[in-house]
Structure 1
Amino acid sequence: MSSQPTDLYSVLGIGPDADAQAVRAAYRKQARRAHPDAGGTAERFHEVQSAWEVLGDSEARAAYDRELRRPARGADSAEDADQAEDAPHYGRGSSFGGFRTTAAGSTSPTRSGSESARTPSGAAHLAPVYIPDLSSPEPLSLPLTSQRTHGGFGSGGLFGGGRALRRAQQTAELLEKHVLSDLPTARLFNTVALQPSGRDRWGQARPPKGRAAEHVLVCGDTLVVVSSLEVHAATASFDGRSLHAAGRSLALPDLTGQSRALRTLLEAAMRETGRETSLNLGQQVVLYAPDRSMQSPVVEARGTPSGSVRTPLAPARAFRSIREQLAASAQANVIDRHLLAALRDQLQHPQD
């Protein structure tokens, strides 16, 4: 890219006082205009994506606003210096919302520990593509196809009621607010069984039992399995395997095993429909501190995550990670109704 606008608000055609809803609407408008398939250019589309990566995230936007207000010759106080160190730096070859732009306008992920961020493909905000198209009532009715959240939580079994149940319900509500609202084609499935669903004597599917994933999000050909933990401290550390907080070591749920088991089931179900599908997997553990702040606990990574394990994060950062994982797919605007139907067959509490 030959140059990079220093004012990200002007890229989206809004002012610094625009609220989150206005920022999102402006991004979608500009992304449609800038997309190469609509007559735009790759460079312009990249500028819009870069602006959205910062302004669409409350933490990154706050840091950017501080950077704009900071005196040009440097920080005047220790507090300003600390803020400047945490703030993103904008311009050619700089980092935008976790992604480093190069002079050629391409992107390469920056790293946090051993994990790499994944740049959104831009497909998530294109017009949805339904497979099969909506002229067919099969394999999923139109109301269920358009439904954003599927499945609920039982009072026993996986959650056992009480605090665990309330935490799962809270996580589902926050996923709807901070992930589904931003990705039009994403769908959330709660309490998804990891064993094949069965049939009753009349041939009807019956809710499966046994192990289950708390939350599964799907967007295009990407699945992200999500779980949550309570951490009774404002800070924690992660050594790549266990979480350490308040003098205790907390084992993380095996989301890698859950996601792989689910992929095996779903890909087999898709083959039965004649569709050969290869699903991408993601995962995220959401941490809740006693004050239920979106920004805490603060997690210090002290080791390299093993395999595909991702660092557990406070809600604000966790939901951003989930959005990035889902939106990275080039098929993020595809709604595969066969895949949605297969996921619904795995719900332990369909609720509809």
Structure 2
Amino acid sequence: MSSDSGDLYSVLGIGSDADAQSVRAAYRRRVRQAHPDAGGTAEEFHQVQSAWEVLGDESARAAYDRRLRQPQTSAESPADEAAGSGPIYGRGSGFGGSGSGFRTTASGSTSAGSSSADSARTPSGAAHLAPVYIPDLSQPEPLSLPLTSQRSHGRFASRGLFGGGRVRRAERMADLLEKHVLAELPTARLFNAVALEPAEKDRRGRSRPPRGHAVDHVLVCGDTLVVVTSLEVPAAAASWDGRRLHAAGRSLTLPDLTGDSRLLRATLEAAMRETGRETALNLGQQIVLHSPDGSMQSPVIETRGTGSGRAPLAPARAFRSIREQLAASDQANVIDRHLLAALRRQLQHPLQ
């Protein structure tokens, strides 16, 4: 398998048969060369970082290699020609990637060059392609390079005398999401303590930290948002009837993440329209249950009915569900800087 000028191996200056040690050495060499302080550019530096995010991870690299080996079609369909007049991003452009391209229309929105009827249900394979930044990294706005690169955003603050336990659970959950979701999906980002209502502005037009109801965690990958929260269950087993969770002789109504995610989508899409971009976001939700023993496999959930949202799951299964939801879109390798900026404005406690 050759390493043409558009792939991630070329970004690091190595062949596709390089072993893990050679990849690491090449990354260290190239990241020093590409650093702006050494005469490189911000975009070149970020390209090297993005190449390392894929090639430095064994599973991500294997998925990328499989995509490179797939035969490519040589002609666009009439539907592709009609999609818009903007540039096409994907294999052969930018700094790598393969498979479906993404077209930026005149309005700045994105659409996939090809699609599948199953794309909303199964991983598209795009999540491990080379990242595509919109707008590209040569533009300083709408989000700085450091914040664009940052994988996790926002923190939790204790509210009142009895808020410490909930904050500790949310912080632990954020750590687990970084380890079991972000580490597997190079283009995914995590936002913590995200308000659902639009942020207000002061007399000078500056945004204030948003108040009101907030969700614990929002993960974004491409055009997909997944809202996540976690609960502690005082038992090693529980049952779910589609509306209420039953455990240890108690019954609990779970948070309405479906409604929360729809409200957040409306807020974000309205914010995107203010920038001249029409965006249709896909939604997902997941409630993660923790048992007293801290096991990733428990509590065991017996599902007895169907509800409007996804069934709550133990951590191991929940993280797999979250990854599958995020990776389903054929735009999973797109990093929309306008969307990241809009999400940062919804943070109740941002970290710079």
Q: TM-score, normalised by structure 1?
A: 0.69
1:154 and 2:157 aligned: yes
* Separation (CA, whole Å) in 2 of partners of 1:328 and 1:270: 22
Q: Percent identity?
A: 71
> Residue type matched to 1:184 in 2?
P
User: For residue 95 of structure 2, what is the aligned residue in structure 1?
Assistant: none
User: For residue 319 of structure 2, what is the aligned residue in structure 1?
Assistant: 319
**Partner secondary structure for residue 163 of structure 1:** helix
Gaps of 5+ in 2: 1-18, 20-54, 73-115
> Residue type matched to 2:126 in 1?
A
* Separation (CA, whole Å) in 1 of partners of 2:287 and 2:56: 26
- Trace 1:250-265 onto structure 2 (pairs within 5 A): 250-265=252-267
User: For residue 125 of structure 2, what is the aligned residue in structure 1?
Assistant: 122
User: For residue 32 of structure 1, what is the aligned residue in structure 2?
Assistant: 64
Deviation of 1:161 (Å):
2.1
Match of 1:237 among 233, 236, 239: 239
Q: Is the 8 A contact 1:287 1:313 kept in 2?
A: yes
> Residue type matched to 1:33 in 2?
D
* Runs ≥4 residues deviating over 4 A: 106-109
Deviation of 1:198 (Å):
1.1
* Separation (CA, whole Å) in 1 of partners of 2:61 and 2:166: 40
Deviation of 1:41 (Å):
4.1
- Residues paired across the two proteins, number: 258
User: For residue 304 of structure 2, what is the aligned residue in structure 1?
Assistant: 302
* Separation (CA, whole Å) in 2 of partners of 1:183 and 1:32: 12
Deviation of 1:33 (Å):
2.8
> Residue type matched to 1:138 in 2?
E
Deviation of 1:332 (Å):
0.3
Single out whichever of 321-330 and 201-210 deviates more from structure 2: 201-210
> Residue type matched to 1:346 in 2?
Q
Q: TM-score, normalised by structure 2?
A: 0.69
Write the deviation string for residues 283-306 of structure 1: whole angstroms up to 9, x where unpaired. Answer: 00000111111110000101112x
* Separation (CA, whole Å) in 2 of partners of 1:184 and 1:33: 15
User: For residue 351 of structure 1, what is the aligned residue in structure 2?
Assistant: 351
* Separation (CA, whole Å) in 2 of partners of 1:123 and 1:165: 34
Judged with a 3 Å threshold, the aligned counterparts in structure 2 of structure 1 residues 245 and 351 are, in CA distance, closer, same or farther, namely: same
> Residue type matched to 1:326 in 2?
L
Write the deviation string for residues 206-262 of structure 1: whole angstroms up to 9, x where unpaired. Answer: 101010011000000000000111100000000011110011111101101110000
* Separation (CA, whole Å) in 2 of partners of 1:252 and 1:229: 9
Match of 1:132 among 135, 160, 175: 135
Write the deviation string for residues 130-187 of structure 1: whole angstroms up to 9, x where unpaired. Answer: 0000000100000000000000011117x95221111101100000000001101000
1:142 and 2:169 aligned: no
Deviation of 1:28 (Å):
2.9
Deviation of 1:205 (Å):
1.1
**Partner secondary structure for residue 268 of structure 1:** helix
Deviation of 1:119 (Å):
1.8
Q: Is the 8 A contact 1:193 1:212 kept in 2?
A: yes
> Residue type matched to 2:302 in 1?
E
**Partner secondary structure for residue 205 of structure 1:** coil
Match of 1:210 among 183, 208, 212: 212
* Separation (CA, whole Å) in 1 of partners of 2:318 and 2:69: 35
**Partner secondary structure for residue 124 of structure 2:** coil
**Partner secondary structure for residue 228 of structure 2:** strand
> Residue type matched to 1:303 in 2?
G
* Separation (CA, whole Å) in 2 of partners of 1:240 and 1:41: 44
* Separation (CA, whole Å) in 2 of partners of 1:223 and 1:165: 22
* Separation (CA, whole Å) in 2 of partners of 1:34 and 1:142: 30
User: For residue 229 of structure 2, what is the aligned residue in structure 1?
Assistant: 227
**Partner secondary structure for residue 245 of structure 2:** strand
**Partner secondary structure for residue 137 of structure 2:** coil
**Partner secondary structure for residue 192 of structure 1:** strand
